[in-house]
Structure 1
Amino acid sequence: MKLLRWIVLPPVVILVMAIAIANRKPVTFSLDPFDPTSPAIGLEMPLFLIILASVLIGILFGGLGAWAQARRKAAKSKGSATMGETLPALRD
């Protein structure tokens, strides 16, 4: 596992550094879809921060989803899910 980490991690770090260096100019991160010229909610920040933050958020949400799925499978295999804990079936 350590060897795999040493094989994969350096190229990933180099790629992240290249993205950060290539995208240093500030851009307006706007949360106002109706007025792009002067947004009510907007931040000036370098583009690489937006890219890295979105990747980090995606990793966190993916990890939370995988954790929840593993926990649900473990609970199902132990038989701890009773009728009251599950959602009722739809009936006509």
Structure 2
Amino acid sequence: MIRRLVSIVIFLPLAIVLIALAVANRETAPLRFDVFNPDNPALTVNAPLFVWLLAAAALGIIAGGVGAWFSQGKHRKMERKYKREARKLRFEAEDTRRKADDGETPLALTRSTS
């Protein structure tokens, strides 16, 4: 319930701002890819300004997500290591418990007489 309330409090104002931005910036704005000859129509794309603004925001969000994913790689690697270790220890504990139930003495619990 609180999560839904927080998302409404955050996303509703953001949606209002984006809608206002789109309505206020409906004029066509060119995006020129040729920096040496800006009048070249082959390398110019015309679209409403809000499209360019939303595309820039989307690229920023994607770039931030990719950067965060790469920076958290060492944490994911450690988690995989810990999961393998936990799985191994769980198997060993179950094996020891099974051997104890069968009446066998597991090797780890026998005392060496030297």
Within-5 A mapping of 1:47-66: 47-66=49-68
Structure 2 unmatched runs, 5+: 83-114
Structure 1 unmatched runs, 5+: 80-92
Q: Please say if residues 31 and 39 of structure 1, whose CA atoms lie closer than 8 Å, have aligned partners that are also in contact.
A: no
User: C-alpha distance in 2, partners of 1:23/1:72?
Assistant: 43
CA-based RMSD: 1.8
Larger Rg: 2
Identity of aligned residues (%): 33
Structure 1 or 2: more helix by fraction: 2
| Count of aligned pairs | 79
Instruction: Give the structure 1 partner of residue 11 of structure 2.
Output: 9
- TM-score for the superposition, normalised by structure 1: 0.75
Further displaced range: 66-75 or 56-65: 66-75
- TM-score for the superposition, normalised by structure 2: 0.62
